[in-house]
Chain A
């Protein structure tokens, strides 16, 4: 493993000295200027390694507590524990005295790869692994330098352990005692990171830092925020996306005690009616008493049934080419019994994080303060500033712990924050908490898009695919956003084709094309994005091919994968051995389902033991083998996979779809859009991690794609049917 690294020169030492000595809560404002602009200036050139000032990330307090700033949102994925582990290990900190804080919005906390402060693409560990290790090593070096000077010795004569520097002659000093002197030391340009064998807790199972306050009710999520004089707002959103308020009758609403104001507001699309009250309940009561006439003139009224007809028609014609390898006409020369033609349907899906969306803003005229559980601090901060007529640096943005998100808190148009800012602007000086109810959330759009796939596979004499023609129809998630420049190439949104266009299977005569229809439904990435549907298509088809060839589903996949697909071949090999004891000895009425898929750099192989109970699949056991490079916190990897499989089963739930009729979403709450309950989740999940010293890759999203195809493949063995439409309304 590349444990030793040399980072380039840090040239802002003078600046750092000042701010480190200043300490306290002031440092944030000092870093607001775009310090890493050279990343943009570099253009297409490889970017210079960035340097990060330790004092923005580590605060060694006089009481011995070490406060580490986490540069991203924590919303379940465990980054608030894993990033501090990396830093604290290099720092040789006493882990029991580490406190992890979610950093506010500031340039210094931007994702080193993405260039904005965000969580996405399962990149938290992958992108900040080196950064946090170096921060820990640099801070340690400064503490050691301070100790060496104090003892009139050399840093080489000192060693560190559990927040103490030990020197010659039995001398020792705590980090807290040395912090003041260390702050005046230059930040070292180069540090040597620990060898793998020297790491104390990276690579070992470490429990989450946020468990206890999440179990005794003391942890404050964004929605729990309470400020003196705060008002609460709910908004009546248009029933058809983009509709505008034509007329409001609000007498009854205004009569609700505690209601302060009712007014129309501009939304990211269309307009709505805001109700501001002293508390949530009167606001919600008042909203239900509003009578609103909406103007839907000129709006496309999306309708799921009509969309399926349109999508199927589109899918029967070639689209914009994403992949064209070999001669796909080979397919047409094969006899009918050597071809599979399969059509797949995937509905809109809501993210429905448990904590309803919310944002609190206080606008004071020349500045504003924001509290939000955001995956997109930089984007949201800019949007709020724009609405309030401020510069982004005039908007202090606190990152609040969020109750889930799954992509829903990373929206390019920042529509929730814009709503909150629009209302807060009118309430100048008064803090305003905007709350989206569950109904707002389920009906409010920004769904995983609907998709239609049409795949034709020609089967060769060896039982392996000889030709593969694949058409995908679905809205582009990134079209009309600033992300299109990075994601849409030659008319193809790669967030829709990922998992198909870049398949690791050795597909000859491979042709993939896409259609991106325009539909009046806002769409968004949903945990694992394109892989939510592409993995299902690929893995159920590959399974079908394996069955036709009468080859073991694991063996078939190993045969068909490209030799360089190590991130899938290693998990398959591990899965094969780790599940050997139970996989082929299932009780009567149970069946095995296999899948594998790589996403966000992490390869996963999955095996499930499924039976049918009450006409629904019951997953008695699931096993995954995972290659995510070095598992920084294997306990967190295990948890992400155990639960992520359950999350993935959302797609299979009988009422797991969002549908529209005449422009209106048909589901309202968890009675219509039903996520998995405990009975729907796997009973047990074994997680096998491929031992690795390669650079770590993410584990937030990769659990999701594998489970639905694995279950569908098991069901196919039980019922003899192939399942090509999700959700699984009936078996």
Chain B
């Protein structure tokens, strides 16, 4: 067991866990932040996606001991961000979700995409969202919602 000070959604959190524990399980079980989901445990589905220092990261394979000082943002905190809020709103307005289980990860991946690429093409979307599985396959509306969020965020910015 070791103690870690984590910066999560702008707040300092202390946890005492085995160093090998993936960030996912620290979030879910030690910090009771269950918005980040367990889907596969091998970084193949993206349900566990969070931002670590702004980079979309699969929290299921990152040991907590590797995080250090880097800021973590999860689905619970992404709404505080302009892009994050716009993506969440677009998801709701576009009626994207079905079972909804993968959508935390989809939203985190989409926010990372839009932060780097404000006007993504279909190819950009295929690439950035390419590692996130939605078993309901709501992909048509995910694509639409990303474009809607992009339009909303770039509105008036021309």
Query: CA of A220 to CA of B100 in the docked complex: distance in angstroms?
Result: 11
One digit per residue, 1 when the CB lies within 8 angstroms of any chain A CB and 0 when it does not, for chain B 135-149 equals 111111111000000
Q: Are B137 and A356 in contact (CB under 8 A)?
A: no
User: Known contacts being A217-B35, A257-B1, is A675 close to B135, with CB within 8 Å?
Assistant: yes
Query: CA of A683 to CA of B143 in the docked complex: distance in angstroms?
Result: 8
Interface membership of B54, Cβ < 8 A: no
Chain B residues near A258: list those with CB within 8 A: 18
**Shortest Cβ gap from B6 to chain A (Å):** 16
Partner of A670 from B34, B96, B133 at Cβ < 8 Å: B133
Interface membership of B83, Cβ < 8 A: no
Closest to B103 in A: A214
Q: Are B100 and A219 in contact (CB under 8 A)?
A: yes
Partner of B18 from A282, A353, A644 at Cβ < 8 Å: A282
Number of chain B residues close to chain A: CB under 8 A:
60
Interface membership of B107, Cβ < 8 A: yes
Query: CA of A186 to CA of B66 in the docked complex: distance in angstroms?
Result: 65
Q: Which of B74-107 contact A (CB under 8 A)?
A: 74-76, 79, 88, 91-92, 95-104, 107
**Shortest Cβ gap from A280 to chain B (Å):** 6
Closest to B127 in A: A679
Partner of B129 from A353, A671, A678 at Cβ < 8 Å: A678
Q: Are A670 and B45 in contact (CB under 8 A)?
A: yes
**Shortest Cβ gap from A485 to chain B (Å):** 32
Query: CA of A226 to CA of B17 in the docked complex: distance in angstroms?
Result: 18
User: Known contacts being A356-B38, A639-B141, A685-B140, is A677 close to B133, with CB within 8 Å?
Assistant: yes
Q: Which of A395-415 contact B (CB under 8 A)?
A: 401-406
Query: CA of A675 to CA of B95 in the docked complex: distance in angstroms?
Result: 22
Interface membership of B57, Cβ < 8 A: no
Query: CA of A437 to CA of B132 in the docked complex: distance in angstroms?
Result: 18
Q: Which of A338-369 contact B (CB under 8 A)?
A: 352-356
Closest to B44 in A: A670
Q: Which of A212-258 contact B (CB under 8 A)?
A: 212, 214-221, 223-224, 226, 257-258
User: Known contacts being A354-B37, A356-B38, is A404 close to B135, with CB within 8 Å?
Assistant: yes
Closest to A356 in B: B38
**Shortest Cβ gap from A130 to chain B (Å):** 25
Chain A residues near B98: list those with CB within 8 A: 76-78, 639-640, 643
Q: Are A217 and B34 in contact (CB under 8 A)?
A: yes
Query: CA of A217 to CA of B107 in the docked complex: distance in angstroms?
Result: 10
User: Known contacts being A211-B91, A226-B34, A281-B21, is A355 close to B104, with CB within 8 Å?
Assistant: no
One digit per residue, 1 when the CB lies within 8 angstroms of any chain B CB and 0 when it does not, for chain A 496-539 equals 00000000000000000000000000000000000000000000
Q: Which of A633-649 contact B (CB under 8 A)?
A: 635, 639-640, 642-647, 649
Closest to B100 in A: A214
**Shortest Cβ gap from B152 to chain A (Å):** 15
Q: Are B44 and A671 in contact (CB under 8 A)?
A: yes
Q: Are B140 and A642 in contact (CB under 8 A)?
A: yes
Chain A residues near B88: list those with CB within 8 A: 212, 215-216
Q: Which of A670-701 contact B (CB under 8 A)?
A: 670-671, 675-679, 681-685
Query: CA of A635 to CA of B91 in the docked complex: distance in angstroms?
Result: 14
Chain A residues near B69: list those with CB within 8 A: none
Query: CA of A45 to CA of B134 in the docked complex: distance in angstroms?
Result: 45
Q: Are A683 and B122 in contact (CB under 8 A)?
A: yes
Q: Are B137 and A217 in contact (CB under 8 A)?
A: no
Chain A residues near B131: list those with CB within 8 A: 677
Query: CA of A684 to CA of B143 in the docked complex: distance in angstroms?
Result: 9
**Shortest Cβ gap from B19 to chain A (Å):** 11
Query: CA of A353 to CA of B37 in the docked complex: distance in angstroms?
Result: 13
Query: CA of A466 to CA of B85 in the docked complex: distance in angstroms?
Result: 61
Q: Are A643 and B139 in contact (CB under 8 A)?
A: yes
Q: Are B138 and A642 in contact (CB under 8 A)?
A: yes
Partner of B75 from A216, A355, A642, A677 at Cβ < 8 Å: A216
Interface size class of A (residues with CB under 8 A): 35 or more
Chain B residues near A676: list those with CB within 8 A: 133, 137, 139
Partner of B135 from A279, A647, A679 at Cβ < 8 Å: A647
**Shortest Cβ gap from A620 to chain B (Å):** 10
Interface membership of A75, Cβ < 8 A: yes
Q: Are B101 and A644 in contact (CB under 8 A)?
A: no
Chain B residues near A642: list those with CB within 8 A: 138, 140-141
Interface membership of A204, Cβ < 8 A: no
Q: Would you call the interface of chain B mostly helix, strand, loop, or mixed?
A: loop
Interface membership of A438, Cβ < 8 A: yes
**Shortest Cβ gap from A104 to chain B (Å):** 20
Partner of A643 from B1, B32, B104, B136 at Cβ < 8 Å: B136
Q: Are B91 and A402 in contact (CB under 8 A)?
A: no
Chain A residues near B102: list those with CB within 8 A: 354, 403
**Shortest Cβ gap from A444 to chain B (Å):** 14
Chain A residues near B1: list those with CB within 8 A: 257
Q: Are A354 and B101 in contact (CB under 8 A)?
A: yes
Closest to A636 in B: B95
Closest to A211 in B: B92
Query: CA of A639 to CA of B91 in the docked complex: distance in angstroms?
Result: 13
Interface membership of A208, Cβ < 8 A: yes
Chain A residues near B76: list those with CB within 8 A: 216-218
Chain B residues near A401: list those with CB within 8 A: 100
Query: CA of A212 to CA of B138 in the docked complex: distance in angstroms?
Result: 16
Interface membership of A576, Cβ < 8 A: no
Chain B residues near A438: list those with CB within 8 A: 39-42
Closest to A208 in B: B95
Chain A residues near B138: list those with CB within 8 A: 639, 642-643, 646
Most interface-central of B40, B91, B92, B98 (chain A CB within 10 A): B98
Q: Are B101 and A355 in contact (CB under 8 A)?
A: yes
Chain B residues near A422: list those with CB within 8 A: none
Partner of B42 from A223, A645, A649, A671 at Cβ < 8 Å: A671
Q: Are B139 and A220 in contact (CB under 8 A)?
A: no
Interface membership of A669, Cβ < 8 A: yes
Q: Are B141 and A669 in contact (CB under 8 A)?
A: no
Interface membership of B125, Cβ < 8 A: yes
**Shortest Cβ gap from B13 to chain A (Å):** 16
Q: Are B44 and A404 in contact (CB under 8 A)?
A: no
Interface membership of B114, Cβ < 8 A: no
Q: Are A217 and B75 in contact (CB under 8 A)?
A: yes
Interface membership of A207, Cβ < 8 A: yes
Query: CA of A207 to CA of B95 in the docked complex: distance in angstroms?
Result: 6
Q: Are A214 and B20 in contact (CB under 8 A)?
A: no
**Shortest Cβ gap from A217 to chain B (Å):** 2
Chain A residues near B14: list those with CB within 8 A: none
Chain B residues near A282: list those with CB within 8 A: 18
Query: CA of A500 to CA of B30 in the docked complex: distance in angstroms?
Result: 53
Chain B residues near A643: list those with CB within 8 A: 98, 134, 136-141
Partner of B91 from A76, A215, A285, A681 at Cβ < 8 Å: A215
Q: Which of B1-25 contact A (CB under 8 A)?
A: 1, 17-18, 20-22, 25
Query: CA of A343 to CA of B141 in the docked complex: distance in angstroms?
Result: 37
Chain B residues near A645: list those with CB within 8 A: 137
**Shortest Cβ gap from A700 to chain B (Å):** 10
Query: CA of A21 to CA of B73 in the docked complex: distance in angstroms?
Result: 47
Query: CA of A354 to CA of B102 in the docked complex: distance in angstroms?
Result: 7
Interface membership of A210, Cβ < 8 A: yes
Chain B residues near A211: list those with CB within 8 A: 91-92, 95-97, 100
Chain B residues near A439: list those with CB within 8 A: 41
Q: Are A279 and B25 in contact (CB under 8 A)?
A: yes
Query: CA of A207 to CA of B32 in the docked complex: distance in angstroms?
Result: 29
Closest to B22 in A: A281
Q: What would 29 A/B residue contacts be, using CB atoms closer than 8 Å?
A: A75-B99, A78-B98, A210-B97, A212-B92, A216-B75, A216-B79, A217-B35, A219-B100, A223-B38, A226-B34, A279-B29, A281-B21, A281-B29, A354-B45, A355-B101, A356-B38, A403-B102, A438-B42, A639-B138, A642-B138, A643-B134, A669-B42, A670-B42, A670-B44, A670-B133, A677-B132, A678-B130, A678-B132, A678-B139
Other than the given A216-B79, A675-B137, 4 more pairs (CB < 8 A) read A217-B104, A645-B137, A682-B139, A683-B140
User: 8 tightest A-B contacts by CB?
Assistant: A217-B35, A646-B137, A403-B101, A214-B100, A76-B99, A76-B98, A217-B75, A224-B34
